[in-house]
């Protein structure tokens, strides 16, 4: 099967591969399809893990200052806007949403 992508999608796939997030365009598209076709529970399961990790860190006294939290929120908004990769944390590390 061959699929034509818009120039914008081709650019975003190429950027994801160039950044090392994926080893090939096929892998990037396969991941996107996996997320698209997953049930909502599967698609957002990683959020539960992030929340659990946050609660555990808070229980250990590992808390962030307000300005650090705002920086993370701003980075997440940027990533979710399509201008960045929504699976890259504020430190630039790729986080697999699966």
CB distance 46 to 98 below 8 Å: yes
pLDDT: which is higher, 70 or 93: 70
pLDDT of residue 46: 82
Q: Looking at per-residue confidence, does 69 or 43 come out higher?
A: 69
Domain definitions of the chain by residue range:
1-37, 39-87
For the entire predicted model, the pTM comes to 0.47
* pLDDT interval class at 8 (50, 70, 90): very high
DSSP-based three-state secondary structure for 19: coil
Contact predicate 97/89, CB 8 Å: no
Q: Give pLDDT tens digits for 19-57.
A: 898 999 999 999 999 888 888 777 788 888 889 999 999
Question: The tokens 């908004």 sit on which residue?
Answer: 77
């Amino acid at each position: 099967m061959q699929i034509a992508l818009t120039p914008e999608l081709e650019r975003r796939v190429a950027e994801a591969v160039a950044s090392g997030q994926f080893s090939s365009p096929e892998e990037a598209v396969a991941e996107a399809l996996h997320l698209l076709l997953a049930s909502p529970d599967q698609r957002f399961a990683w959020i539960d893990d992030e929340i659990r990790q946050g609660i555990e860190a808070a229980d250990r006294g590992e808390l962030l200052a307000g300005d650090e939290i705002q920086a993370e929120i701003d980075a997440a908004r940027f990533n979710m806007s399509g201008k960045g990769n929504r699976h890259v944390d504020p430190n630039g590390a790729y986080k697999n949403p699966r």
